[in-house]
Amino acid sequence: MKHTFKIFGVLLSFVLTGCQLDDKPIGLITQDQIDTEPTAGSVTSSVNSTYQLMANTLNIIGQWDWNGGKVLRNDFILQDIASGDMNKKWNPDGDQAWMDEVASFNFTAINGAFNGIWSYDYEGISRANMAINTLSNSEVIAGTGLDATTKDRLLGEAYFLRAFYYFDLLNNFGGVPLLTEPLENFAAAYEVSNRASEEEVLELIRTDLKMAEELLPVQKYSSTSEPWRASIGAAIAMQAKVELFQDNWDAALSQIDKLQGLNFYSLNDHYFDAFNVEKEFQENEVILAYNHEQGMNPGKGNGLAALMGWGFVAPSEDFLQSFEENDPRLDYTVNVENKEVHKLLGTTDGRYKGNADSPGNKIYIRYADVLLWKAEAKIEKGDVEEGLAIIDEIRTRAQNTPSLDGESAELELYSGKGLSQQEALEVLRHERRVELGFEAHRFNDLKRWGIADEVLTEMGKNFQDYNYLYPIPQGEIDRSGGQIQQNAGY
Task: Report residue 406's pLDDT band, with 50, 70 and 90 as the boundaries.
Answer: confident
Q: How high is the pLDDT of residue 75?
A: 97
Give pTM, 2 decimals: 0.94
Better pLDDT: 68 or 30 = 68
Amino acid in position 320: L
Domain with CATH 1.25.40.890 in the chain: 1-216
Q: How high is the pLDDT of residue 193?
A: 80
Task: Report residue 23's pLDDT band, with 50, 70 and 90 as the boundaries.
Answer: very low
Task: Report residue 129's pLDDT band, with 50, 70 and 90 as the boundaries.
Answer: very high
pLDDT beyond 70 at 34? no
282-316 pLDDT, tens digit each: 999 999 999 999 999 999 999 999 999 999 999 99
In whole angstroms, what is the distance from residue 204 CA to residue 201 CA? 5
Average pLDDT of the segment spanning 118-135: 96
339-392 pLDDT, tens digit each: 999 999 999 999 999 999 999 999 999 999 999 999 999 999 999 999 999 999
CATH 2.10.109.10 fits 1-216, yes or no: no
Cβ–Cβ < 8 Å for 456, 105? yes
218-250 pLDDT, tens digit each: 999 999 999 999 999 999 999 999 999 999 999
Nearest to 186 by CA among 37, 391, 5, 405: 5
> Using alpha carbons only, what angle is made at residue 343 by residues 443 and 241, rounded to the nearest 5 degrees?
40
Q: Which residues contact 463 (CB under 8 A, 6 or more apart)?
A: 105, 452, 453, 456, 457
Question: The CATH number of 247-440 is which of 3.40.50.300, 3.30.70.20, 1.20.1440.230, 1.25.40.390?
Answer: 1.25.40.390
35-68 pLDDT, tens digit each: 556 799 999 999 999 999 999 999 999 899 999 9
Q: How high is the pLDDT of residue 18?
A: 29
In whole angstroms, what is the distance from residue 278 CA to residue 249 CA? 36
69-119 pLDDT, tens digit each: 999 999 999 999 999 999 999 999 999 999 999 999 999 999 999 999 999
Give the chain's radius of gyration (CA, Å): 22
In whole angstroms, what is the distance from residue 353 CA to residue 309 CA? 5
Q: Count the neighbouring beta carbons within 10 Å of the beta carbon of residue 41.
A: 13
